[in-house]
Amino acid sequence: MRRRTFIAASLGTIAGGVGAVMPGQVLRNGDLHTGAALAFGTTVTVSVVHQDTQQAELAIEDALAEASKVDALMSIYSESSQVFKLNRDGLLEKPDPHLLAVLAHARGLSRLTKGAFDITVQPLWLTFREAALGGFLPPAMLKQEALDSVGWEYVDAGPDLVKLRQPGMAVTLNGLAQGYAADLALAAVRARGVRHALIDTGEFLSDGALSASGRPWTLGVADPREQGRLASAVRLVGRGAATSGDYESSFTPDFVHHHIFDPVTGDSPQELASVTVLAPTGIEADGLSTAFMVMGARKAHALAARLPGVDLMTINKRGIVWKSPSFPAA
């Protein structure tokens, strides 16, 4: 199943935040306007607070168009997408600059996390999904065959050509594309002169505040084990937010095998049930949430402490919560 669908449920609005204000309700910043479109296999939402209804509607239209553009380029399912063609053919001529930007970010994140983040784990996901459809886990031989195709350093990307240098390689940008789409959507909103917005592409990104009094956009983080319960509330002020969890797309009911893979072992990481990251941009929050699931709590918190503007909350499989010192709980 698509990772995007499950991330959308991992962060939701709570009372006192976006969910407490209905479209058209008068605020001191202006009215709240919302718009939505289908992208990444679910509903993308843009909410803005602005006094000029026409400008607000144009900003929302532009933002949704940007998100749809990223989805069209980077979907692993659509035969017309550049990522689909790259996986099918092993190379792609004249890649779109947006695709190159995301691939460059992926390479940098792989280096930063010493390979914990790796866009080439797609063969593992395909192998486990096919086995799960039959009600079993893949045999060791098939898992090793998929693992032999994994290696972020074997992706070459330049303005004329993107090439996968290992046989059987395939990439997924599901750990970056939604965050990147949020960044482009927010830039489109700002270009229309709107300074108070919340973007939801499955990864969240905010600007300004919900009201002139400074009441921030507020999100709820789902408990990874108790459906309908919040593990925390988060004040989102000018940053991106992303959650990854073992419950989002699990191949086994015990959450041991799920959609996130350790590119070294070929198995799902076993320590954490949920990771929530706040970062300066959507693409940073998106990618780090996946990487931190693989790295485990101690290494993840150590790295987060070194990254400007990054806060982190981890919940392990025993329910132990660890928040960075400046994590902005509501």
| Closest among 214, 300, 209 to 18, alpha carbons compared | 209
Secondary structure letter of residue 162 according to DSSP: E
Taking each helix axis as running N to C, give the angle between helix 82-89 and helix 53-74, from 0 to 180 degrees, rounded to the nearest 10: 10
pLDDT tens-digit map of 174-193: 999 999 999 999 999 999 99
pLDDT tens-digit map of 130-181: 998 898 899 999 999 999 999 999 999 999 999 999 999 999 999 999 999 9
Check if the beta carbon of residue 136 is closer than 8 Å to that of residue 252: no
Secondary structure letter of residue 250 according to DSSP: B
Q: Which residues are annotated as a binding site for Mg(2+)?
A: 175, 286, 290
> Would 290 be classed as within a structural domain?
yes
Structural domain harbouring 47? 4-57+194-323
> Would 95 be classed as within a structural domain?
no
Q: Which residues are annotated as a binding site?
A: 175, 286, 290
Q: What is the CA radius of gyration of the chain?
A: 19
> Would 15 be classed as within a structural domain?
yes
pLDDT(4) > 80: no
Tokens of 62: 């532009």
Number of domains present in the structure of the chain: 1
The residue with tokens 């400074």 is 214
> Would 40 be classed as within a structural domain?
yes
pLDDT tens-digit map of 68-88: 999 999 999 999 999 999 999
Check if the beta carbon of residue 289 is closer than 8 Å to that of residue 242: yes
> Would 28 be classed as within a structural domain?
yes
One-letter amino acid identity for 69? K
pLDDT(216) > 50: yes
Check if the beta carbon of residue 291 is closer than 8 Å to that of residue 263: no
How far are the Cα atoms of 125, 246, 269, 312 from residue 140, in angstroms, in the given order?
A: 14, 22, 17, 34
CATH number at residue 212: 3.10.520.10
> Would 137 be classed as within a structural domain?
no
The torsion angles phi and psi of 231, rounded to 5 degrees, stand at -80, -30
Check if the beta carbon of residue 151 is closer than 8 Å to that of residue 120: yes
pLDDT at 18: 27
> Would 125 be classed as within a structural domain?
no
> Would 9 be classed as within a structural domain?
yes
Handedness of CA 72, 76, 80, 83 (dihedral sign): positive
| Total Cβ atoms within 10 A of residue 189 | 29
pLDDT at 79: 96
